[in-house]
Chains A and B, each alone.
Chain A
Amino acid sequence: MTKNVAGLELPVERDCPFSPPAAYELLRGQAPISNVRLTSGGEAWWVSGHEEARAVLADGRFSSDKRKNGFPLFTLDAATLQQLRSQPPLMLGMDGPEHSAARRSVIGEFTVKRLAALRPRIQDIVDHFIDDMLAADQRPVDLVQALSLPVPSLVICELLGVPYTDHDFFQSRTTMMVRRTSLEDRQRAFAELRAYIDDLITRKESESGDDLFGRQIARQRQEGALDHAGLVSLAFLLLTAGHETTANMISLGVVGLLSHPEQLALVKADPGRTPMAVEELLRYFTIADGVTSRLATEDVEIGGVSIKAGEGVIVSMLSANWDPAAFKDPAELDVERGARHHVAFGFGPHQCLGQNLARMELQIVFDTLFRRIPTLRLAAPAEGLPFKSDAVIYGVHELPVTW
Chain B
Amino acid sequence: MRIKADTGACVGSGQCVLTEPAVFDQDDDGLVALLTDHPDDQSAAQARHAVTLCPSRALSILQE
* Complex contacts, B25 vs chain A, CB 8 Å: 113
A356–B19 contact, CB under 8 A?
A: no
A349–B11 contact, CB under 8 A?
A: yes
A58 at the interface (CB under 8 A from B): yes
B55–A348 contact, CB under 8 A?
A: yes
A107 at the interface (CB under 8 A from B): yes
Choose one: B11, B17, B52, B57; the contact of A112 (CB below 8 Å).
Answer: B17
A113 to B29, CA, bound (A): 11
- Taken residue by residue from 91 to 129, chain A's Cβ proximity to chain B (1 for < 8 Å, 0 otherwise) reads as 000000000100110111111110000000000000000
B11–A107 contact, CB under 8 A?
A: yes
Would A111 and B30 be within 8 Å (CB), given that A348-B55, A356-B18 are in contact?
yes
Would A107 and B55 be within 8 Å (CB), given that A112-B26, A351-B13 are in contact?
no
* Complex contacts, A340 vs chain B, CB 8 Å: 15, 18-19, 49, 53
A111–B19 contact, CB under 8 A?
A: no
Smallest Cβ-Cβ distance to A105: which chain B residue: B29
Would A112 and B55 be within 8 Å (CB), given that A107-B29, A107-B30, A107-B31 are in contact?
no
Total interface residues in chain B, CB < 8 Å = 22
B7-37 CB contacts (< 8 Å) to partner A: 11-15, 17-19, 21, 25-31
- Taken residue by residue from 199 to 242, chain A's Cβ proximity to chain B (1 for < 8 Å, 0 otherwise) reads as 00000000000000000000000000000000000000000000
B14–A110 contact, CB under 8 A?
A: yes
* Complex contacts, B31 vs chain A, CB 8 Å: 104, 107
A341 at the interface (CB under 8 A from B): yes
A346 at the interface (CB under 8 A from B): yes
Smallest Cβ-Cβ distance to B26: which chain A residue: A111
CB distance from A220 to the nearest CB of B (A): 15
Smallest Cβ-Cβ distance to B52: which chain A residue: A341
B56–A348 contact, CB under 8 A?
A: yes
Smallest Cβ-Cβ distance to B55: which chain A residue: A351
* Complex contacts, B18 vs chain A, CB 8 Å: 112, 340, 356, 359
B56–A58 contact, CB under 8 A?
A: yes
Interface of B is mostly: loop
A104 to B28, CA, bound (A): 11
A355 at the interface (CB under 8 A from B): yes
Q: Which of B12, B19, B25, B28 has the most CB of A within 10 A?
A: B12
B29–A108 contact, CB under 8 A?
A: yes
* Complex contacts, A108 vs chain B, CB 8 Å: 12, 27-30
* Complex contacts, A57 vs chain B, CB 8 Å: 55
A97 to B31, CA, bound (A): 16
A322 to B39, CA, bound (A): 32
A347 at the interface (CB under 8 A from B): yes
A352 to B12, CA, bound (A): 10
A346 to B56, CA, bound (A): 11
A335 to B10, CA, bound (A): 29
Q: Which of B11, B19, B49, B53 has the most CB of A within 10 A?
A: B11
20 CB contacts below 8 A, A to B, read A58-B57, A104-B12, A104-B29, A107-B12, A108-B12, A109-B30, A110-B12, A110-B30, A111-B14, A111-B26, A111-B30, A112-B14, A112-B17, A340-B18, A340-B19, A340-B49, A347-B55, A348-B11, A348-B55, A356-B14
Given contacts A104-B31, A340-B18, A356-B18, 15 further A-B pairs with CB under 8 A are A58-B55, A108-B12, A108-B28, A108-B29, A111-B30, A112-B14, A112-B18, A113-B26, A340-B15, A340-B19, A346-B55, A348-B56, A351-B55, A353-B12, A356-B14
